[in-house]
Structure 1
Amino acid sequence: MKLFQQLLVAPAALGLLAPMAANAADLNINGVSDYASDEDIEQVTSITQFSDVYPTDWAYQALANLIERYGCVAGYPNGSFSGNRAMTRYEAAALLNSCLDSVTELTDDLARLIKEFERELAIIRGRVDGLEARVGELESTQFSTTTKLKGKTVWVAGATRAKGDNFRVIAPGTRDDDGNLVDRPGARNQYNQDWGAFNFSYDLRLGLKTSFTGKDLLFTRLRAGNMGDTSPWDGNGVSLNKLDTAAPGGNGVEVDRLYYRFPVGSNVIIQAGPLTRNTEMMGYKATAYAKGGTKVLDFFGGSLGVPGVWNKETGGGFGAIYTNKNNVSKGNPYFTVAANYVADSGEANDGNPSSGGFMTDNSEGNITSQIAYGNKKWGMALGYRKGQCGAKFRTPTMFTVDDKFGTPCTVDNKKGESVRSGAYSNSWSFNAFWRPDDSSWIPSVSGGVGASYLTGNRHWEHQVIKRSYASWMIGLTWSDVFMDDNAMGFAVGQPQFTYNVDRKNDDSDFIADGGYAKEFWYKYQVTDNISVTPSVYWLSRPWGDNTRNWNGDYKSLGVFGGLVQTTFKF
């Protein structure tokens, strides 16, 4: 007998099996007679047939269920239930008989259904047995009970080509025997000779996510690639060639992330580690560009068009993120405030304070902060970064990157002696985005604008002419283009360029450093784990103010890039 059947008849059975502890005077003979005397009484089908049972009675619902679901309740011929009277063994026998009749019918129905679906049930039992076997095998061979492994590899095939004027450029410091400056081959031909070949390379990332409490995260990432100094995709030829997926060279495996993140209360997250990144401790990324797609140039992708603040500095550091997301209704905008410190990975682990160290004058440290407000549909963020001397900038024009780029820690004084520069930088950024509710011809819109201001002591001012940088971008992304999960994107902007110089020995501080970058891509989702993204980009003046002939005339020279990225996720 099934469990529910046993529970159903147990009270009546107990009444039959219990010993007769009561005396004869306790037996209600009249009641027994009333219960069994009328053979023509109909089976009770509704609780409303009882004249003495009311909805306010404590057992009303229980009686209703027994009558309507199982037909297990009979009444007295006078239409009453007499719920306050003690039940005799005769009454128990009558109730038990009624219930057994119903249970027998139910058992017959179940047997018929089991026989009818015998084949389907056998298939289900086989599948369950197979699943149990597979679960057992996974448990015995699983990598770790606390760690998950996720991988991603991107294969890049393509080429770059310089287009425009083939002007001749003076090679700085190169002179012939008569002391005349020696110029080099035309700039266009020189670029194509050094960087114009079709090439095929890869980037591989393996992320280990470990959690000890379910809320914390120990993140370790292994990375390998073959781009490096021999590939234009790592920012060679011109620095703006750098891709978002630019990988290290040499095919060597290295650890490029190692940090621990944990919550403090419900609104604060702390992150620290010997290999952490400042932009990964911002708490909120105010962009929708390439969401659901594949990023191409680093300037538009990882740097959000504002490489002064989003310089992606990686090294030893720590940070805190506050958000009130848990205190607002789902989908509503929320605040995020973040601040962090990161010393460059080459300096943070250096034990010599004159060349490095953690939180020393030579750490090449970055103090980065951001305040953001928004949700998944729209958002905005204001960012700031203070860079110590030597702190990295990202994706500038070649004029900006040439000759004492950024804030060097040492310069030569007027006597030719190497002295401290006292240099540092202040950078700010503003980013915002909006995305439509549904996929349509209307794209998501993302934008960013930023600037950096450099300063130092009088020795720095004597040696470095570049004072201020700026950049901006606008990106459009269309979702589900032609097919679900496919995406398309276009972006335009001015990568980081110098807009303010101070030439001590020249009355003219004019520069023409700004140029434009444009990219267009389409991501085709082959399977859930494989996508192919063909793309093209154009850099109008990547040499910036260096785009000049030997006599100083400004020329036109840009770089065209075409590539296909194939992404595998596992």
Structure 2
Amino acid sequence: MLTNNVRPIPAFLSNTFKYLLFTLIILGWTNKSVFAQEQTESASPDFLPTNTSSMNQINRVSNLRDVSPTDWAYEALRSLVERYGCIVGYPDGTFRGDRALSRYEFAAGLQSCLNQIETLIGQGGVNTEDLEQLQRLTQEFSPELANLGNRIDNLESRIAFLEDNQFSTTSKLLGNLVTQTNFYFGEKGEAQASLQYNAFLASITSFTGRDSLLVGFASTNTTFPNIANTNDGRMVGATREGTSYAASAGDLRGDIRIINLNYDFPITDNLRATLTGVNRFNFSPAFLGNFVTEYTFGRGPVSAFATAPPVYLIGGGNGGFALTYQASPSTVLSANYNTTFGNDPEFGLSKGDYVASFEVKYNPSPRFFVQALYQNGYFGPGNFGFNNGQFFQDSGFVGTALANRFAKPGVLFPDASAVSTNAYQVGGYYVFSPRFSLGGWVNFINARLIEKGDAEIWSYSIQAAFPDLFREGNLGGLVVGVEPTLTGLRTDLPHASFKNDTSLHIEAYYRHQINRNISITPYLIWITAPNQDRDNSSFVVSGFRTIFSF
């Protein structure tokens, strides 16, 4: 509100400043580089108005260290600084005239000039000749100014049309290299060691801004330890308890192969579809959800078991599709179908091994998440396992040998068995504070051995995460659970006996984030009663995981 002793700005002067403001805004908007400052710069207090930052009022142009009389804009700056006193400088005494103008700077400078001219008008300090000349210029160029407004309106409509109808492709390249040393120590002094690496390179391409095409390549060299081969005194195969997450891509023996080919796109505002050509790297991207915060790739536990529920590793790995529906801001429904037709190409997409799932995710706040899943699957004779459909492995990536190999020949029955499954899962997490969260899951799988009987497989875990432990950006964690275990078998046919003793998976890890791209994670995993038999010696796995990512 203007006081009585200060005259309002004349109409022609007010309109002139409106045109000036409008023109500068349009010029800045059409040249996005003017306002496209990096986030770190735009957050800098140097860009805030004078009353909220450390910017200094400049009384003489000579106070600006980076402005000299030979500069082409020197006289204009001198007039604005010394005549109107409405230019501010930076605390280091610079003007930075060769850098782009930010919105904060524009607003601060314009407001300063308006306030100063308003004050000069009220005090009679504005040169009458300047005002008369400005009025004549405004009247003389009024047609051009009006025409400029029309041209800007036309430009806006044309830009809006181009934005609505443009076709542009945006691609992003990402990758990581995981190296991991594993040392296995048994109670009787036996020791084994392995060195694993997993190199992954992918591109994510968007054609419309709302879709994404993922193409991933990998090269791995993974070895599995030969440990705890017996159950109830019989050779059943080495256990896969304690297997690292780095091994869950399988062993490519140093070859480079395409392991991800997924295309995700919207059908409606709330419905999305995902087409999968290859999904060998890990878990289904349409279904995998975080079960403890901070569990993005390489940021959480070291073991494959603790990274995500084992039910996601049953079958799949090749062609399929998924639908995801946003029922409400807090509820997402998903349906998924994956096949392992690559094992028997003549079966195609609709025959042979498959997994089909339905999932509900409820996430009412960042602090609370709960999920429920039902999965149905079919696997040919001897094909069942927690192996992501990778049949070159004699066993899976997580769980006991019996949980992975019960349908293989010579384990429980003389011949191999086809298996159909009904699997159920509930899981979630709760964030108690920024530095502590608790989560986990329970998996139950009812596996029917065709024409033989039914087997039951259980798995569960509880996990604690401690973000920013000892240092901001680091993460500590503790996991206690049971990896997939064959707990029961109902059959009238002769079969081999087995034990289902409780085998605990206890894991502690600490991720040290060296910088944005490199992390080192020492860890310790203790497996009790391995291969679900307490007669087997407990063993400990320890080592280091190093991840380089970009």
TM-score (norm 1): 0.61
Query: In the superposition, relative to structure 1, how do residues 543 and 146 fare at CA in structure 2: closer, same or farther (>3 Å)?
Result: same
Cα contact 2:212–2:263 (8 A) shared by 1: yes
Query: Which letter maps to 1:475?
Result: Q
Distance 1:508 1:231 in 2: 22
Query: Which letter maps to 2:367?
Result: K
Query: In the superposition, relative to structure 1, how do residues 222 and 505 fare at CA in structure 2: closer, same or farther (>3 Å)?
Result: closer
Give the match for residue 293 of structure 2: 288
1:279 maps to 2:281 = no
- Aligned pairs for 1:220-239 (under 5 A) are 220-228=215-223, 237-239=238-240
What is the CA-CA distance between 1:300 and the residue it aligns to?
Answer: 1.0
Query: In the superposition, relative to structure 1, how do residues 223 and 241 fare at CA in structure 2: closer, same or farther (>3 Å)?
Result: same
Give the match for residue 266 of structure 1: 269
Query: In the superposition, relative to structure 1, how do residues 278 and 322 fare at CA in structure 2: closer, same or farther (>3 Å)?
Result: farther
> SS at the partner of 1:300?
helix
Give 1 or 2 for the bigger CA radius of gyration: 1
What is the CA-CA distance between 1:273 and the residue it aligns to?
Answer: 2.4
Q: What whole-Å deviation, never above 9, does each CA across 1:238-278 have from its counterpart, x for those lacking one?
A: 21132112143421111110011001221111000211476
Query: Which letter maps to 2:520?
Result: V
Give the match for residue 444 of structure 1: 437
1:148 maps to 2:172 = yes
What is the CA-CA distance between 1:532 and the residue it aligns to?
Answer: 0.8
Cα contact 1:309–1:385 (8 A) shared by 2: no
1:539 maps to 2:550 = no
Distance 1:110 1:474 in 2: 71
Q: Work out the percentage of aligned pairs sharing the same amino acid.
A: 19
Query: Which letter maps to 2:242?
Result: N
Which of the numbers 378, 382, 385 marks the counterpart of 2:372? 382
What is the CA-CA distance between 1:158 and the residue it aligns to?
Answer: 2.8
Distance 1:112 1:243 in 2: 66
1:367 maps to 2:367 = no
> SS at the partner of 2:342?
helix
What is the CA-CA distance between 1:341 and the residue it aligns to?
Answer: 0.4
Query: Which letter maps to 1:393?
Result: G
Distance 2:185 2:195 in 1: 15
1:498 maps to 2:500 = no
Cα contact 2:385–2:405 (8 A) shared by 1: no
Give the match for residue 209 of structure 2: 214
Query: In the superposition, relative to structure 1, how do residues 231 and 346 fare at CA in structure 2: closer, same or farther (>3 Å)?
Result: farther
What is the CA-CA distance between 1:506 and the residue it aligns to?
Answer: 6.8
Query: In the superposition, relative to structure 1, how do residues 519 and 457 fare at CA in structure 2: closer, same or farther (>3 Å)?
Result: closer
> SS at the partner of 1:282?
coil
Cα contact 1:229–1:249 (8 A) shared by 2: no
Give the match for residue 428 of structure 1: 424
Give the match for residue 250 of structure 1: 253
Distance 1:252 1:147 in 2: 25
What is the CA-CA distance between 1:110 and the residue it aligns to?
Answer: 6.1
Query: In the superposition, relative to structure 1, how do residues 402 and 275 fare at CA in structure 2: closer, same or farther (>3 Å)?
Result: closer
Cα contact 2:89–2:95 (8 A) shared by 1: no
Cα contact 2:485–2:500 (8 A) shared by 1: no
1:340 maps to 2:336 = yes
Distance 1:344 1:104 in 2: 71
Query: Which letter maps to 2:357?
Result: T
1:352 maps to 2:346 = yes
Cα contact 1:308–1:393 (8 A) shared by 2: no
Cα contact 1:282–1:321 (8 A) shared by 2: no
> SS at the partner of 1:299?
helix
TM-score (norm 2): 0.63
- Aligned pairs for 1:33-48 (under 5 A) are 48=4
Which of the numbers 451, 459, 468 marks the counterpart of 2:456? 468
Query: In the superposition, relative to structure 1, how do residues 62 and 208 fare at CA in structure 2: closer, same or farther (>3 Å)?
Result: farther
Query: Which letter maps to 2:346?
Result: N
Distance 2:302 2:470 in 1: 21
What is the CA-CA distance between 1:217 and the residue it aligns to?
Answer: 0.2
Which of the numbers 541, 546, 549 marks the counterpart of 1:566? 546
Q: What whole-Å deviation, never above 9, does each CA across 1:502-550 have from its counterpart, x for those lacking one?
A: 3646799783343110100011111121111100101112222xx4xxx
Query: Which letter maps to 1:448?
Result: W
Distance 1:312 1:529 in 2: 32
Cα contact 2:384–2:407 (8 A) shared by 1: no
1:400 maps to 2:403 = yes
What is the CA-CA distance between 1:486 and the residue it aligns to?
Answer: 0.9
Q: What whole-Å deviation, never above 9, does each CA across 1:74-119 have from its counterpart, x for those lacking one?
A: xxxxxxxxxxxxxxxxxxxxxxxxxxxxx999646269888998x9
Distance 1:105 1:149 in 2: 48
Q: Aligned Cα RMSD in Å?
A: 4.0
Give the match for residue 141 of structure 2: none
- Aligned pairs for 1:108-187 (under 5 A) are 109=82, 125=98, 146-163=170-187
Q: What whole-Å deviation, never above 9, does each CA across 1:287-308 have from its counterpart, x for those lacking one?
A: 3364683321111113x3xx23
Query: In the superposition, relative to structure 1, how do residues 278 and 481 fare at CA in structure 2: closer, same or farther (>3 Å)?
Result: closer
What is the CA-CA distance between 1:403 and the residue it aligns to?
Answer: 4.5
Structure 2 residue runs of 5 or longer lacking an equivalent are 18-75, 102-167, 228-236, 387-397
Larger mean CA deviation between 485-494 and 513-522 belongs to 513-522
Query: Which letter maps to 2:434?
Result: D
> SS at the partner of 1:279?
coil
Distance 1:210 1:104 in 2: 47
**How many pairs were matched up?**
396
Cα contact 2:169–2:208 (8 A) shared by 1: no
